[in-house]
Structure 1
Amino acid sequence: MPTTTPVQPHVLLVATPFQSHVNPLMRLGRRLAAKGVLVTFTTALRAGIRLDEVSGVDGFRVERLRGGDLWEPDDPRFVDANDMARHLSAAGPAALEALIRREAAAGRPVTCVVANAFVPWALPVAADMGLPRAMLWIQSCALLSVYYHYLHALAPFPDTDDATGSVAIPGLPDLAIDELRPLLIYTSSQDMWRQMVVTDLGSVREKVSWVLVNTFDALEHETIAALGEHVPVIPVGPLLEPETAEADGCTAWLDAQPPRSVVLVAFGSLVKTGDEETAEIAEALAGADRPFLWVLRDENRALLSKDTLAAATSRGRGKVVPWCRQARVLAHGAVGCFVTHCGWNSTAEALAAGVPIVACPRWSDQRINAKFLVDVYRVGVRSPTPVTRESLRLSIDEVMAGPEAEGFGLRAASLKKRARAALADGGSSDNGVQAFVDQISELARSGGG
């Protein structure tokens, strides 16, 4: 009897050119490729963006968004985020359409387009070309629920001048105005990034068939269940670096430290601490008298005098690096505390590694993430910001040696176990990815969208 050759589904991933947006989308793509999906990743690549996590992964391709009026990767205008966003909104659609057509001409027709948030022009292009669409929400389901309830007027939100105001949303603890105020919904209606969120989520049910979220069911079960009544939410996280990745040049140094002794300090790829705060962090780490690994980007490092940095590393037995594979460092047995800005990627990586937290939130979702880490998951403490040497030193001591230190560690270890269970074969996130793969595979077989 004649046999039918299976049609391989082809997913096109479209990312904003920020490392914190690129990473989770690439990690989703790696998991899709492992399940037999052909994956093509694209972004308007700019200097400094790392794509090495997926090098050599079978079934995973990278095609830079190019052509037309798109800037070259080293164009200095990529430095300004607003200029970049305006440029991509204007030049991105034609470049994306051309890429989709090139893939079809090469015998690799795209089955489904997956875009992360802040690429509001990508999904309309896919819709106009008759392609099924999905969104990867790279932040917490809690934040997604906050934005959705605000944009669809499903809950009364307080005014910014209401000092005691709060909002109650199904599946979430009450959120105070101080936790809400940094969010984009409280910025000017002319703010470009706010407009993108409105565009992405204002009609999300009409735009996409799947909303994939970088979270796992055991972490945000109530939130996922409540929001699932409005939005087709599928938890697929935590989206982590490959297990085979090493912690770069930090591994040998970490291997030489006692178990759970190292303080990791990292504030992500966007937070820029001022000169005074950077010096305060250095003094706090020196005063804590514990081994530390401080990820200090070059622009922040330039704010420190050589004497201050030398004093911190000598007295504090520390190591300062401009970059590291954060998830792999967190997974190392020597790390016992993570001082973080509480961006969602960092939050998810810390929870998956079972490392207690000193939370130092700044903007956007970071205060909400800090609230969950400290008040809901109870895996750490919050340090006042901007950081002072005494507050940070006391916070580190509290997490690593205070009366609650053992409890922080036990609860963090429990969440690590649950995160790993979600990612394992048959776990909640693995099932979510498989359900998505099954549906797009059926679309590929039927040749329809």
Structure 2
Amino acid sequence: MRRTLEARRDAGQQEPRPWKSLALAELSAARARMLRMLEGLPEDALTRQHSPLMSPIVWDVAHVANQEEQWLLRALGAPALTDAAFDALYDAFRNPRATRAQLPLLTPERAFAYAARVREASLDWLQRLPEDSELPLLRGGFVFGMVAQHEQQHLETLAATLQLMTSHEYRPAARPRPSPGRAAQYEVFIPGGPVRLGSDGPWAYDNERPAHVVDVADFLMDSHPVTNGDYLVFVESGGYEDARWWEPKGFEWIAAEGIRHPLFWLPQEDGTWLRRRFGHVEPLPRDEPVQHVSWYEADAYARWAGKRLPTEAEWEKAAVGSDGRPRTYPWGETPPTEGHANLGGDTWGPSPVGSYPAGQSADGVWGLLGDVWEWTSSTFDGYAGFRAFPYREYSEVFFGTDYRVLRGGAWASAPVAVRNSFRNWDYPIRRQIFAGFRCARSAR
């Protein structure tokens, strides 16, 4: 055992924490973040539907509590606090986002009280559960990790809702972001060969499983995500008017919607550019990764630049590293800190590229985790051997060509829900999410 622990330390890996203490920490972190985000918002801001793309905020509050009740209490044998009719009210598949404001939702006061009551019962039940259960839901604390990640994912969704909100001013207190010198964009050669994709880790989602090995050909990956300054050249050179760079459906879409630049950019008559960020307007920062671009926009820029978007396998190969050593994060096994990546939501925006040298991959690729989600060229599907667990509606019902995969997490993503193997997906027209991209090209 001592030799194993020494080898783990030599490899930069940390000894795993008991899952119950980890579950307590992650559930507590998620709830504290929710309360910080929503503190001080008036009732109208919590109950209004700020966009048909998003739920009323109060729906999300009760929804995460209801999911917690279903999975951390009822599914594990604890007494129910509500009934199936209540589940239907907060079922995301029964109630599309655009219709949720019409439902008889809990008031903000009652929604927060319900969330607090469920959490108290969950933590009490957690203390009674065995640390070493072989029940599939409890093995490694999976279901607690699932619920903690689910809540954090909804908090990222709430951040997108708050960005869309125009009826109330929202000026969150932000943790300072780094201010490095200008970072040059260059290409990193990633030698081809086998790469282990996915994860069999205890808190990995079903769409990350099973871990498997594929071969990837030699390719080149941009060292940094595309910046606002990079993307502005595409905009000002007429990129949105030139069909050569666009997927036909994408060009039809931007023409129909009148889209000529990323969401929340504001062109000025004097030729300067501003952006709206959480209720206030500021100069467009040229050195930050571009965000709020759709897959179609990312793909068009890559074509214009003479490159392409990376495949999902290429992205994960760049994150894991080409030396054959398995890594949970680009830098190794140490969980993300403020020195590795911009995660957790407290900065309320991306950091300039080149801000986190400790977060580089083994091959020298920067910023693969945090700041902005990165679109890939891949459509969303299960890996060979995929099995839905614990329910089809997390991943399987979305498989197919309608969705494109995003990797890496954004500034609004929580560290618990970010790793090399984590897979996100969305429609190629989505722009309200905190998505950007980086380019790649084949080496031969």
Instruction: Confirm or deny a common fold (TM above 0.5).
Output: no
Q: Which has the higher contact order (CA 8 A, sep 6+)?
A: 2
- Range class of TM-score, shorter chain: under 0.3
More helix by share: 1
